[in-house]
Amino acid sequence: MQFLAAEKMASSSYSNSPCAACKFLRRKCMPDCIFAPYFPPEEPQKFVNVHKIFGASNVSKLLNEIQPHQREDAVNSLAYEAEARMKDPVYGCVGAISVLQRQVMRLQRELDATNADLIRYAYNEMPPPPEAAASQYGRRTTAAHGSTGGSSFNQTSGIYYPSQWNDPCGDNEQSGGGSM
């Protein structure tokens, strides 16, 4: 019984301030509010995104239908997908996964080329000229790091971002994600 009272007191921080959901929906935040444990008042944008993509009613139904121990993971998944849909309305988080898969494939090709170079050096074979090696193995030369057609390559992290993930407003008119 003391555990429940302590849990109730810990989660009742929303009694002073309504949760982000109730504040956004302009309603009184009740002690049994389904949103309060997952949408704290300090994170209003989390609920705004989820509400805009999925709707408060649908999220409420979903949370009521699943087990309490699964709700936090469900809300985190909804929030992640909603944020991804705000950035890329067509593909959502699948677009981000696709970008990462292409990056892995590109890095695998580069690793294979580097391993081939190491084998060649181990057997004291003469390497091809630098420009021929770069074009042969699909590597970009320094000059190729410039314009990528609306996309960007972050040289410090080595991550390629399609144009739709770079534009914070989402009004970039170029298609940068490719087809799935």
- pLDDT tens for residues 33-86? 999 999 999 999 999 999 999 999 999 999 999 999 999 999 999 999 999 999
The pLDDT confidence band at residue 173, using thresholds 50, 70 and 90, is very low
Task: Over range 164-172, report the average pLDDT.
Answer: 48
Q: 55-64, 121-130, 152-161, 167-176 — which one is most confidently predicted on average?
A: 55-64
Residue 101 burial class via C-beta count within 10 angstroms: exposed 0-12, middle 13-18, buried 19 and up: exposed
Is pTM beyond 0.85? Reply is no
Instruction: Give the model's pLDDT for residue 17.
Output: 87
Instruction: Give the model's pLDDT for residue 178.
Output: 47
Instruction: Give the model's pLDDT for residue 38.
Output: 94
- Compute the C-alpha angle 130/128/147, nearest 5°: 30
Model confidence at 120: pLDDT above 80: yes
Distance CA 12, CA 4 (A): 12
Distance of CA 20 to the CA centre of its chain: 22
8 Å CB contact between 92 and 62 = no
Q: In percent, how much of the chain has pLDDT > 70?
A: 61
